[in-house]
A and B are shown apart, each in its own frame.
Chain A
Amino acid sequence: MTVQMIRNAEDLAERYDIAIVGAGPAGMAAATECAKFGLRTIVFDENSEAGGQIYRAITRNTPAARPYLGRDYWRGASLWEAFVATTASYVPAAAVWSLEQQDEEAELRVSVSGRSMIVHAKRVILATGATERPMPVRGWTLPGVMSIGAAQIALKSAGLLPEGRAVLAGSGPLLYLYASQVLAAGGVIDAILDTTPRRYWLQAAPHLLPFLISPYVWKGLGLILKVTRAVRVFRSVTALEINGKDRADGVTFTAGGKTVSLPAKSVFLHQGVIPHANLANAAGCEMGWNDRQKCFAPVVDRQGRSTKASIFIAGDGNGIGGALVAEFDGRIAGLAAGLEVLGKEPSEDLRRYGRLRQKALRGRTFIDLLYQPAPSFRAPAEEDVIVCRCEEVSVGAIRAAADSGVAGPNQLKTMLRCGMGPCQGRMCAATVTEILADAQQRPPTEVGTYRLRPPIKPVPLSEIAALPHTPDAVYAVTGTHSEH
């Protein structure tokens, strides 16, 4: 048995039992579980290669060719092998741009090879993963500035190392993980500017015990030791800005009460990851504020069921847990969705994966609290800093709108075009919520986030127009019911 690879829209069937969006750890694991039941399962992935971000390029990387990627990375290979051995259909380079619950089922619209199709599924599992939380600082739109996740993708998928002076700035484990991979591959990092406030050790300390017995602890400590031996690390960094006119040429920041400037050709930013939930949001799934992770995430039950009965959400897309949690999350959602389609009772496997997931979550609270990005980087005060990169809307404009009483992110969008560009708020939604909450002294949960509507990816109008039209859609446009 082997997965059926689909590369053309014409080869899609109209109906499936289960449709999965995303082929990272959660998506591959979910598909493997669903296919075991013999259910008609299809996986749509936006990337041209499976693995998601964490196991990027896993289908062609080998430990011999890229040994510097580290042990955890290769876990992805067994996930991929199990997935390709199933009878599922797998569609790479497929952008699902609309999802809607209809009756008890779901309708997806997906663009493959320049053509859009409508596909129905009894259950949908969204395994859309995480995106990096935006880190708006002065100069972050300059060429030469990139997210650390992007730099790591360049390494994993194309063997690219930073050239010239490179500085990493921000907070979270990825700074040290990426630095260690660069070092292992023979590269150089000039400095790490760690923006974790010193006091966060105190807020995290009560949760130290479960962290100490988690697998993170040795890995984390080992990484930090290795990296700090080779790289200058500035701690409790504030007031970070990137210098340069047409491209980055340095950074200026405050550390230990002093202002420091360093030359840099490349600046890589990162302050943790947040759920990538645009599709869930546009499908009308309820979103809730996670105050520990400082982000909105779709509301789900223990098996990943969203507030729309036909839509499950697994992995980082429902709250950040990392690759291992995502994998168990995927198995749980896959089993639960599969059992529902078959009309069966919850199985022992479901409970077992639940326990494994719980175990994999150990230590997460400590990491969340320690690496919570500092307020000044989540809701910047500097008026000229750009928040919405697409429409070039600044902190000052958003704060002024907040002061004049703008009701929330959706009104702000209408007023300033903030979040209206092609990225559709992916790069500014988190910051907009935090700035409004800060300026208006309201809890983020009350401020809310953008309400999205399909298409959640830009699709040429010609492609949308070529879709077969339902009688209702024709009626909505023409006001008459046609016969065909």
Chain B
Amino acid sequence: MFRSIESPKSRVRVIVDGREIEADVAASVAAALLGAGMTAVRRSVVGGEPRAPYCLMGICFECLVTIDGVQNRQACMVPVRDGMVISSQRGARTMEVGGQ
């Protein structure tokens, strides 16, 4: 749903679900995925529907992915780093949620 209008300045490489993509060093993981043409990053917990980052500001938790083996990271809040391994999440999240 997006295209980048800038020529690459300083790029890093990350692996997403086994595929290598390039991203600007300053991008968040979510922006990197969107810039590479990936929208749906996970399946919803109850209905198994495809979901994609919605707010890009840490509010909606639709962008949860596994980064370097750590589950449920908010892709929009984590800057990319060279060599990062990212995988999309399907099904139930094993997340500890407080606040109830």
Where the two chains meet, the residues of A that have a C-beta atom closer than 8 Å to any C-beta of B are 46-48, 53, 57, 60, 65, 93, 97, 131-132, 141-147, 149-150, 153-154, 157-164, 166, 185-187, 246-247, 265-266, 276, 282, 389-392, 413, 420-424, 426-427, 452-456, 458-461
Instruction: For the complex formed, measure the closest distance between the CB of B18 and the CB atoms of chain A, giving whole angstroms.
Output: 20
Interface residues of A, dominant DSSP: loop
Separation in Å of the B61 CB from the closest CB of chain A?
4
Would you give the shortest CB distance from A269 to chain B, in whole angstroms?
9
What is the CB-to-nearest-CB distance from B42 to chain A, in angstroms, rounded to a whole number?
A: 10
Besides A65-B6, A158-B24, A391-B45, 7 new A-B residue pairs in contact (Cβ under 8 A), listed by A number = A47-B77, A141-B49, A146-B52, A153-B57, A157-B26, A247-B40, A423-B59
Whether B35 contacts A48 by the Cβ 8 Å rule is no
Q: Is the CB of A389 within 8 A of B28?
A: no
Q: Give every chain A residue within 8 A of B58 (Cβ-Cβ).
A: 46-47
The answer to whether A150 and B99 touch across the interface, beta carbons within 8 angstroms, is: no
- Whose C-beta in chain B lies nearest to the C-beta of A281? B99
- Residues of B within 8 A of A (CB-CB), count: 46
Footprint of A on B, CB under 8 Å? 1-6, 24, 26-28, 31-32, 34-35, 39-40, 44-47, 49-62, 64, 72, 77-79, 93, 95-100
Chain B residue with the shortest CB-CB distance to A269:
B54
Closest A-B pairs by Cβ, 3 of them: A143-B52, A455-B98, A150-B56
Contact of A266 among B1, B35, B50, B62 (CB under 8 A): B1
Min CB distance A92 to B, Å, is 10
Contacts of A421 in B (CB 8 A): 45, 61, 97
Contact A131 B26 (CB under 8 A): no
Can you report 29 A-B residue pairs in the complex whose CB atoms are below 8 A from each other? A46-B77, A93-B77, A141-B44, A143-B50, A144-B1, A144-B39, A145-B52, A145-B54, A146-B53, A146-B55, A147-B54, A149-B57, A150-B55, A150-B56, A153-B57, A154-B34, A158-B24, A158-B31, A158-B34, A159-B6, A161-B2, A162-B3, A163-B2, A186-B5, A246-B50, A422-B64, A452-B99, A454-B98, A459-B96
Assess the A423–B60 pair: CB atoms within 8 A: yes
CB of A458 within 8 A of CB of B60, answer: no
* Minimum Cβ distance to chain A for residue B12 (Å): 13
Q: What distance in Å separates the Cβ of B96 from its nearest Cβ neighbour in chain A?
A: 5
- How far is A427 from B58 in the complex, measured between Cα atoms in Å? 11
- Measured in the bound complex, the distance between the Cα atoms of B56 and A282 in whole Å is 23
* A420-B45 Cα distance, complex, nearest whole Å: 13
Closest chain B CB from A153 CB (angstroms): 4
Does the CB pair A265–B55 fall under 8 Å?
Answer: no
